[in-house]
Amino acid sequence: MISFRTLSYRAATVVALASVSACSSSSAPGADPTPARGLAWTVDGAAMSTTTVQSQTGSNTVSVAGTVTNGSTSNYLSLEMPNAVGTYTFSSTARASATYSTNSGTTNAVYYAGALPSSSGQNTIGAGTIVVTALTATNVTGTFTFTGIGPAGASKSITNGTFNVGL
């Protein structure tokens, strides 16, 4: 026969083990967490995120795009980057670029950063970086930040960008 004292001890042991298990973490201290599934960024102090994304791979590039709709305003962001893990700073030689656009129904503004076609007379517009941290046959993960140039030289600063997208 098991005594009340033995049952109390066993119950206390189970509770203690459950508490330790609930407080443990699967990531190492200081490790960067994997971004949430989807595409997220901050523009003009407003955080935007979407899990409805489009992605496409080519032999040399990966493209990721998503749209966020807030009331009558639609915000669209697209990224194009080389099909490899690495850090890509926008330049005339890097195949990395980004586009942000906002459409309020009556006004549409497009902000672009990256290499331009040689016919434009410019090599690069805006500035920014895309970091591809992981790339498999089925997923791409990374971060981005850029300043896009738009109508009449206006600019938009896109910060805190993350992507974790199926391919």
- pLDDT per residue as tens digits for the range 29-38: 544 556 678 9
pLDDT(103) > 60: yes
Residues recorded for the chain: 167
pTM summary value: 0.75
pLDDT(20) > 50: no
DSSP letters spanning 89-145: E--SS---EEEEEEE-SS-EEEEEEEE--GGGS-SEESEEEEEEEEE-SSEEEEEEE
Which residue matches tokens 């006004």? Answer: 107
Confidence of residue 94 (pLDDT cuts 50, 70, 90): confident
Q: What is the pLDDT of residue 145?
A: 97
| Euclidean distance between CA atoms 12 and 136, whole angstroms | 45
- pLDDT per residue as tens digits for the range 130-154: 999 999 999 999 999 999 998 888 9
Of residues 100 and 25, more confidently modeled: 100
| Euclidean distance between CA atoms 39 and 108, whole angstroms | 21
Confidence of residue 167 (pLDDT cuts 50, 70, 90): confident
Of residues 51 and 126, more confidently modeled: 126
